[in-house]
Amino acid sequence: MSVDGIRLGEFQLIESGIAGAGHKRYIGERFICRFCGRSRESVDFKKKAHAIPEFLGNHQLILNSECDSCNEYFGNTIEPHLEKYTHPFRTLTGVTNKARKTPKHCDEKIDALQFDRHTNHMTVVLNDDVAFRHHDNHVSWVMQRKPFVPYMAYKALCKIAASVANDRYLPLFKPTLEWLNPLSTRELSISPTVVIETLTPGTRYTSCVYRLYFRNTNTFPHCLFWIAFGSYALMTFVPTWLDFGAGVVLQSKLPYVPDIRSEEEIARFGQQLHTERDFSSRELTSFSHEVHMRFESIEEEAIPPE
């Protein structure tokens, strides 16, 4: 089955969109929170709740059906973990944050790293002279993430999926909405909690692109969520009520979204790189992000002593 030129077997595209800069766009039923179920008689809806966090590059897609209380809760609990996890991806490709700026990176070996999305120039100040390895115009280095909880980052991805879903699909995501509800004690524990990172060399989304896929096959998972920003994409499953039905066959392996670049682009920039991770851990963790890049030119400058 072909869906928008992307082959995902039994999965069908049920939701898709692009969110970046520009005029505000609003989705969802007004004044009824899809997460806690409360209306404006008991909670406020004064804040602009971004359906996708601004740190992923969404400055225009607003969710009407998210109350101020839930908005604050998500911003203080789960979203910071997704922000830390995705930080290297966003730094390397110039994805703008809430302040409309490209995030900087620093760790023990890198004093400062920033990508200029307007000029395609990257500036790096090193604490360790051997942190970068380069041959001709090929450079590689390692970026260290700040500690985050993978389970919370996965929960934030599911929250985005539930935010961009059309109202008519919300009954399908009842377990996820109950899990996200700050007033609920429901927990979801699915292991392995698979998240697939995909790097597509030579591609840089200037806006955030998202898709929801669904299949009704009595096979877990029934719903996939894919989101791309910069040169990177993340894909995972979103729990539905069908996943917990009788006779459901567990099948945790997720299909890759095939590369839709031309043969010329693939030959020039290289193949996609996929990394599968298990985000079921509820402990603070950190893992490095290894970077390999080719530049048109590299200039080394010695910083004069103070």
User: What is the predicted pLDDT for the residue at 1?
Assistant: 30
| Contact indicator for 201, 231 with CB cutoff of 8 Å | yes
d(CA 28, CA 267): 42
pLDDT at 303 (0 to 100)? 59
Q: In this predicted structure, what is the pLDDT of residue 239?
A: 95
From first to last of its 306 residues, what are the pLDDT tens digits of the chain?
Answer: 333 434 577 899 999 999 998 899 999 999 999 999 999 999 999 999 999 999 999 999 999 999 999 999 999 999 999 999 999 999 999 998 888 888 999 999 999 999 888 888 888 888 887 778 877 778 888 999 999 999 999 999 999 999 999 999 999 999 999 999 999 999 988 888 999 999 999 888 889 999 999 998 888 899 999 999 999 999 999 999 999 887 777 766 788 888 889 999 999 999 999 999 999 999 999 999 999 887 776 676 665 555
pTM: 0.92
For 64, list phi and psi in degrees, rounded to 5.
Answer: -65, -35
Angle at the Cα of 273 from the Cα atoms of 196 and 210, rounded to 5 degrees = 50
Give the pLDDT of residue 10: 85
CA-based nearest residue to 232, from 265, 273, 277: 273
Respond yes or no on whether the N-terminal peptide bond of residue 201 is cis (omega within 30° of 0): no
Under a CB-based contact definition with an 8 Å cutoff, are residues 228 and 53 in contact? no
pLDDT score recorded for residue 138: 82
